[in-house]
Every structure is written in C-alpha cells, then in structure tokens.
Amino acid sequence: MAKEQLPVLVVGAGPVGCFIAYRLGKAGIPVQIFEKESALPYTPRAVGYYGATQVVFQETGLYDLVRAEGFMTAGLCWRTLPIDDGKGGKRLGDLLAAQPLSDPSDPVKACPSGLLNLRQSELTKLVLEEALKTGNVKIQFNSELSSIQQGDDKVTIDFENKDLPAVTGSYLVGADGGRSKTRKLIGTPCLGHTWPERLISTDVILGNYVDPVWHTCYIIGTQNYTIMTPLTDPIVGEKSLWRCTVAIPPEDQRSDEELLQEEVIQGLYEEVVSGPRPLPAEIKAKAVYRIHQRLVPTMRKGRCVLAGDAAHMNNPYGAMGLNTGLLDGDALAEALIMVLNEGRSNKILTSYSDARRRVFRYFVDPTTTANKLRLHLASETAAEDDDYLRSLQNPTAEEMEKGAKPYFETWRTDMRAVAKDAGL
Ligand SMILES: Cc1cc2nc3c(=O)[nH]c(=O)nc-3n(C[C@H](O)[C@H](O)[C@H](O)COP(=O)(O)OP(=O)(O)OC[C@H]3O[C@@H](n4cnc5c(N)ncnc54)[C@H](O)[C@@H]3O)c2cc1C
C-alpha cells in the first residue's frame, strides 16, 4: 500500500496561511491549518490589493470571486486637512497629488487595474472556503502552537492546550502574524525598528457628500496624518463604511484604552474627516496598532518556513503588508509544489527565503518608509518639495509605466525562474 503523504502544517488562519493552504490544496497536497482563535478573527486592517496581487488571484482562480465581493477604486491621492466650508462644516482638503492606478472614467476596470478593495477578514473567509472545497485542506481552531520538533523528514508540533494531540507533517509554514510563535520557536529574530507613533484604526459609517474621484486618500500636514479608504463602494448621497486610520504622535502619553474612547476618536474625526458638523459618524470597529519596519534574517529553518507578517512587517502607508504576504504565499506554495509534487531539492525553500527577503529589503521596506515619511511634510510645500508628489503633477504615460514597473516586476517572485537560476 502506498505510504500516505504527510500534510503540510500551516500555523495561522490569517489571509496568508489560508492562501497558501488554498494553493497547496489545489495542487493535491494535504494541508492542516491550525488557528489559535475559535473562529477567523476580525480586526480593522488590510483592504486594498494592487495589480501584482490581482494577477496572482486571477492565475489561481480567485480573482472573479474577490472582484464580485469587493470593488475597484481608481487610485490614491494626497490632500491637506479638510477645510472650513463656510457653512459650519468642512469640505475635502486641497488635492496635492493623485496617483491613478486605472482610468477613473473606465467603468470596466479589468484585471489588473485600480486598487481592488475587500476587507482582509472577508478575503480570508473567501479564500478559506475555497481551500476547504479542494478537499485537501482541514482547519482546526482553538489550536495555539506551543512547540516544534524537527526531524530529517518530518516536523511535529504541540499545542498550548495539552488535550490536543501532537501533529506531524512534512513541512511547517509559519503564517502566524507579527507576533509569530513559529518565528520564536525556530530562533529567528525579527530585526529592524518600531516607529514611535501609534495608529488608531476605525471602521466607521460616514456620509458620502461629494465624489472624491480618488477614494483612497492620505491626509498630510498634521501630526495626526491619516489614511481614509472606503470599505464598500462609496456612492454619493448614501452612507457607507470607511476605514479611517489616524496617527497618534509619540508625545501623546494616553494609554491605548484611553485612545479608544468614543469621544477621543470623534475628536480626531473633527480634524481629519470632511462633512457637516456635528459629523454623523458611527464607529463599527476600532483598534490601536504599533507599526514596524522589520525583517527576519532567514525565512527558512530546516523544515519550517515563514511567510507574511511572521517574516516581515512594514507600516501600512501604501497598503503593502498583506500584498507582500500574499505574494510570499504565491512563491512559497510554488516552491512547496516543486519540492513535494515534483521531487525537487528542498534547497528551493532557501531560494524562496533569499528572493522574498530581497523583495522586502530593496522594495517594500524603503517604499513604505518613504510613504510614511512623506506624510510628515508640511502640506503647503509638500507637492513641490517631495520628488514623488512632484512626479505625479503632470506625468507622461511613459513615466507612469516606469513608476508602476517595480509593483509588477519586483514585487512578485517567479519561483520557477529563481529555482532554474539556482540550478535546482
Ligand atoms: C491599520 C492597518 C491597515 C493595513 N492595511 C493594509 C492594506 O490596505 N493592504 C495591505 O497589503 N496590508 C495592510 N496592512 C497589513 C496587513 O494587515 C498584514 O500584513 C496582514 O494581516 C498579514 O497577514 P498574515 O496572514 O501574515 O498575518 P495575520 O493576519 O496576523 O494572521 C495570523 C494568524 O495567525 C494566528 N496565530 C497567531 N499566533 C498563533 C499560534 N501560536 N498558533 C496558531 N495560530 C496563531 C492569528 O490568530 C491570526 O489568525 C494593514 C495593517 C494595519 C495594522
């Protein structure tokens, strides 16, 4: 009788873990996901998927599903703080620059274009459902990883709940987020720095009073610099759900609990959200975050491999964290398919680590750092001072294409090409 194939163990049912499980399940590889929570968690976090991720969704059969549940925005913009409208309310701040990701007058917006918006929690639910449909993926909730033992040809894990039996797999994928236990257990530090600011992120129902054209908006020229992004299609004249993420300067000594008080958040909206006053704003979810620029020295230790926030963290300005994690997932799934289904050397996993670390170090880390620091500028002179905002003033098609190139060519890793170059 043929020996049964050991499953790949995925720790963490976040979007990255579920996506890897989906890819492997589709390739006929058995997978077991272990999630410490009792159900998929909801937190106000990622929402927008760029072109490279859209292409991955399309190639893997997810694009139409994500597109049907989500909606497309045409691009990003930078504005000053909202301005008094002379009627007791505030209008949108002045437009400093806009970055089209697709033609705003194009109603079709085929893949890849725009910023495909769908809340991280909805994406994860959708991907997990598709993973389970492959028939090769199982998920176990209430299963918090506590230890890992690696052998030559297998890896065994235990759980905090000692009533749960140990489980053995062929490889372990640590997709357990920024505080990854996998990362700690395999002895890998996450090196870099933590920014001194905290962020308050809220999901809030707001009225849509005008068409902002560029829905995702960075507000600069204040210590409370902000990202406003729609979570559902913002139809003018109707109310809809928005994500409002506001920076809290380092000198603000209030505790997280104090910052999460309704009146504190409403006070911040007064400064950064446009609309009539008093502002009708119904808060649906809220969280305080610390933000980091950090990367592990390796994403592979033996039969354990890291992906997503477990391996690297960046600030959310530019919406690159989950996109990078999903592109890790795309590369790692392809690497594991080569190893497990095609019998190729597992040194490919080291090549995965090297390639994805390079993407973070030379593209994601500097780009997100620049995205954040740009918001510290004075709004009066930012459009002139900052080379990036200046480049967006009257760009030619050629300049736009050049700017978009790394978002496609650098961000995603073609693991088959990487393996070939490495002679594996
Ligand atoms: C305010 C904010 C806005 C953001 N916006 C964007 C955006 O628009 N676009 C973008 O690309 N990125 C964005 N990000 C970043 C994005 O949210 C993260 O990059 C993303 O969540 C990483 O996914 P992940 O699956 O790697 O980890 P996570 O989403 O953290 O999932 C990890 C999972 O592992 C589980 N887990 C943890 N420990 C264990 C354990 N020991 N055992 C078992 N399970 C465990 C957790 O419960 C969780 O379900 C944003 C982040 C923030 C804070």
What pLDDT, in 10s, does the model give residues 138-156?
999 999 999 999 999 999 9
User: What separation in Å is there between the alpha carbon of 13 and the centre of ligand 1?
Assistant: 9
Please, are residues 11 and 181 in contact by the beta-carbon 8 Å criterion?
A: yes
CA atoms of 306 and 358, how far apart (whole Å): 15
Please, are residues 112 and 51 in contact by the beta-carbon 8 Å criterion?
A: yes
E strand or H helix at 206, and its extent? strand 191-207
Q: What is the mean pLDDT of residues 191-196?
A: 98
Determine which residue's CA is closest to atom 6 belonging to ligand 1: 46
Q: What is the mean pLDDT of residues 190-216?
A: 95
Query: CA quadruple 261, 265, 270, 271: dihedral positive or negative?
Result: positive
Mutate to test the pocket of ligand 1, among 123, 176, 190, 411 (most ligand atoms within 8 A of CB): 176
Q: What is the mean pLDDT of residues 387-406?
A: 89
Q: Which of 365, 262, 272, 276 is nearest to 318 (CA)?
A: 365
Helices 15-26 + 321-342 axis angle, to 10: 30
- pLDDT number for residue 399: 86
Determine which residue's CA is closest to atom 31 belonging to ligand 1: 14
- pLDDT number for residue 3: 65
325 lines ligand 1 (CB under 6 A): yes
* Backbone torsions φ then ψ of 270, nearest 5 degrees: -55, -40
CA atoms of 144 and 34, how far apart (whole Å): 7
76 lines ligand 1 (CB under 6 A): no
User: What separation in Å is there between the alpha carbon of 309 and the centre of ligand 1?
Assistant: 6
176 lines ligand 1 (CB under 6 A): yes
CA distances from 355 to 200, 298, 351, 421 (A): 33, 11, 6, 12
HSE on the CB side for 404, CA within 13 Å? 19
Mutate to test the pocket of ligand 1, among 34, 45, 57 (most ligand atoms within 8 A of CB): 45
Determine which residue's CA is closest to atom 13 belonging to ligand 1: 46
19 lines ligand 1 (CB under 6 A): no
198 lines ligand 1 (CB under 6 A): no
Query: CA quadruple 307, 312, 315, 318: dihedral positive or negative?
Result: negative
Mutate to test the pocket of ligand 1, among 38, 120, 312 (most ligand atoms within 8 A of CB): 120
* Backbone torsions φ then ψ of 369, nearest 5 degrees: -60, -45
User: What separation in Å is there between the alpha carbon of 344 and the centre of ligand 1?
Assistant: 31
CA distances from 67 to 35, 57, 72, 267 (A): 27, 10, 8, 35
In the chain, % of residues over pLDDT 90: 88
**pLDDT tens digit sequence for 244-283:** 999 999 999 999 999 999 999 999 999 999 999 999 999 9
pLDDT at 130 over 60: yes
120 lines ligand 1 (CB under 6 A): yes
User: What separation in Å is there between the alpha carbon of 257 and the centre of ligand 1?
Assistant: 21
- pLDDT number for residue 161: 97
319 lines ligand 1 (CB under 6 A): yes
User: What separation in Å is there between the alpha carbon of 179 and the centre of ligand 1?
Assistant: 10
- pLDDT number for residue 2: 54
User: What separation in Å is there between the alpha carbon of 93 and the centre of ligand 1?
Assistant: 31
**Angular region, 142: left φ>0, alpha ψ -120 to 50, beta rest:** left
pLDDT class for 170, splitting at 50, 70, 90? very high
CA distances from 255 to 44, 178, 361 (A): 19, 21, 32
pLDDT class for 228, splitting at 50, 70, 90? very high
pLDDT at 404 over 90: no
User: What separation in Å is there between the alpha carbon of 180 and the centre of ligand 1?
Assistant: 10
- pLDDT number for residue 100: 87
Determine which residue's CA is closest to atom 38 belonging to ligand 1: 176
The minimum-distance atom of ligand 1 relative to the CA of 229 is 8
Determine which residue's CA is closest to atom 18 belonging to ligand 1: 322
Q: Which of 151-155, 302-306, 316-320, 396-400 has the lowest mean pLDDT?
A: 396-400
**In 10 A of CB 84, how many CB atoms?**
10
318 lines ligand 1 (CB under 6 A): no
Please, are residues 220 and 382 in contact by the beta-carbon 8 Å criterion?
A: yes
Determine which residue's CA is closest to atom 3 belonging to ligand 1: 45
Q: Which residues pair with 216 in a beta bridge?
A: 76
329 lines ligand 1 (CB under 6 A): no
CA atoms of 86 and 194, how far apart (whole Å): 41
CA atoms of 290 and 16, how far apart (whole Å): 20
User: What separation in Å is there between the alpha carbon of 178 and the centre of ligand 1?
Assistant: 7
Spelled out in words, what is the top-level CATH class assigned to the domain 8-44+120-192+295-376? alpha beta
**pLDDT tens digit sequence for 309-365:** 999 999 999 999 999 999 999 999 999 999 999 999 999 999 999 999 999 999 999
